[in-house]
């Protein structure tokens, strides 16, 4: 996960804490978030969008092949 995303989340959590909680608290929160998110099976937005594009192209090819098979079946049907 990108560092700026973790930093943003940590900053938002730190904003909820009293002013006495300093940079160390923010760093600890960021480290905990990074560890927990790494345990989860998540992908980056870029990877997700790339896989989504691959899936769309695959679906389009499948639909084209289905039409081709239907046309061929129509030719061999008596």
Q: Give 23-57 pLDDT, tens digit per residue.
A: 677 777 778 877 877 787 777 888 999 999 999 99
Q: What value, to the nearest 5°, has the Cα angle with vertex 29 and ends 23 and 31?
A: 105
Q: What angle do CA 61, 63, 67 make, to 5 degrees?
A: 115
Instruction: Provide the pLDDT for residue 15.
Output: 72
C-alpha count within 13 angstroms, C-beta hemisphere, residue 2 = 7
Per-residue pLDDT, 66: 97
d(CA 4, CA 10): 10
Answer with the residue of higher pLDDT: 60 or 36.
Answer: 60
Which pLDDT value is given to residue 68? 96
Whether pLDDT at 13 is above 90? no
pTM beyond cutoff 0.75: no
- Indicate the SS3 state at residue 29: helix
| Predicted confidence (pLDDT) at residue 22 exceeds the cutoff of 70 | no
């Amino acid at each position: 996960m990108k560092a700026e995303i973790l930093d943003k989340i940590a900053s938002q959590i730190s904003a909820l804490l009293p002013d006495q909680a300093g940079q160390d608290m923010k760093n600890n929160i960021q480290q905990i978030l990074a560890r927990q998110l790494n345990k989860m099976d998540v992908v980056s937005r870029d990877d997700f969008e790339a896989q989504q594009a691959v899936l769309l192209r695959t679906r389009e090819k499948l639909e084209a092949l289905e039409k081709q098979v239907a046309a061929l079946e129509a030719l061999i049907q008596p």
